[in-house]
Chain A
């Protein structure tokens, strides 16, 4: 994960963990790295990493075991999938169709492309 200047780093950390949960790299009830491990690995202030974790706890992706650490919520993967599926058409398909319209690629052409050998 490389950080860009586009958004706060804590959001980028949170997004990275979400992607790991979605891909299955992080399993349900698996412990995630500590704030300090994150800070040392990515060379960032630990408060920044903690902020990313706090956001994920708020969203129900992680849960905290006092004195032990942060773990992936049992239903996190399902919830994230549902969220992303809801946003898929608005955030992925619509911009693609808009770009296609700008450069004169018709929907039929896109369908033909998608229907080709996969």
Chain B
């Protein structure tokens, strides 16, 4: 089984009168690690559920190498969707949940699963209902990684994991991806600590696609300009302002703009300093308020 190119066209997911995903179109080439970002209620889980064929689109299509995904057994076998509930009952023991996964997944790697269970120190005999939040997440990660599914979707799989366990998660995810490239989609709120693993970033905002870009293009997309208020205002004129702060006569504007070296030299000559905007900062600025055209 190999990974498929996924084409999402005009996807809408509705619950009654609530529109969770609103007319989203996306091309997802195979064998990349995608980061899906968005605030709470932005539609991430609904989009992922539709991608995993757990939910039928209200409108629009999802195609895997051109084939319609919904209720398509080949696509279902090639997809592993790890969500909050783990799709297991509280009374199931950890070892039972793992053996079900082994039985369901043609690409399951038992040796790897055992190694991960040990790494996360998961109690094999405990029932799912008795696991801590972090242990539940870890069990999801074990299933997600050991399934080796051509499309692996991990929806906020870090919840409750402490810093050490998250570190294990990121290290194993990358190592296994390097050895066996496949399509992996991770949704997360912890942008700063995983952004380096993403080849591409997808941002949903209020059900709509705000952005889908290479992570490297996003890094350095914005700039912070600091200096005397009047000079900053002049320099920023015409560019989209993502953030605006003042301290006495000094103003710092965050702009959605990558200035050319010549612009930077011109600004520095006028007494301005330039700073970077990280991916998390950019995300916060882009999704926190409607951005404004630069004001003087």
Contacts and interface: CB of A to CB of B under 8 A. Distances in A.
Interface in A42-60: 42-48, 51
Given A40-B174, A40-B178, A45-B197, A4 B276 contact: yes
Contacts of B199: 45, 47-48
Given A8-B216, A45-B196, A48-B216, A40 B276 contact: no
A8 B220 CA distance: 6
B171 interface: yes
Contact of A46 (B178, B217, B278): B178
Interface string A37-80: 00110111111100100000000000000000000000000000
Interface in B213-253: 214-217, 219-220
Nearest to A37: B178
Nearest to A46: B178
A48 B215 contact: yes
B196 A9 contact: yes
B174 A9 contact: no
Contacts of A40: 174-175, 178
> B174, B197, B216 — which one has the most chain A CB atoms within 10 A of its CB?
B216
Contacts of B279: 5
Nearest to B179: A36
A48 B196 CA distance: 8
A88 interface: no
Contacts of B276: 4-7
B196 A3 contact: yes
B216 A39 contact: no
A90 to B, nearest CB: 11
A48 B178 CA distance: 13
B170 interface: yes
B171 A43 contact: yes
Interface string A1-42: 001111111100000000000000000000000001001101
A4 B171 CA distance: 20
A51 B178 contact: no
Number of chain B interface residues as a range: 20 to 34
Contacts of A47: 32, 199, 214
Contacts of B215: 45, 48
Contact of B178 (A8, A39, A42): A39
Contacts of A42: 196
B198 interface: yes
Contacts of B151: none
A112 B274 CA distance: 33
A43 B174 CA distance: 7
Interface string B185-201: 00000000000111100
A16 to B, nearest CB: 15
A5 B278 contact: yes
A5 B219 contact: yes
Given A6-B276, A48-B199, A51-B216, A43 B178 contact: no
Nearest to A7: B220
Given A5-B278, A9-B216, A44 B196 contact: yes
Interface string B256-296: 00000000000000000000111100000000000000000
A43 B32 CA distance: 15
A107 to B, nearest CB: 21
8 contacts: A3-B196, A5-B279, A9-B196, A40-B178, A43-B197, A45-B215, A47-B214, A48-B215
Interface of B: 32-33, 170-171, 174-175, 178, 196-199, 214-217, 219-220, 276-279
Interface of A: 3-10, 36, 39-40, 42-48, 51
In order of increasing CB-CB distance, the 7 nearest A-B pairs are A5-B278, A6-B276, A47-B199, A5-B276, A44-B196, A8-B216, A45-B199
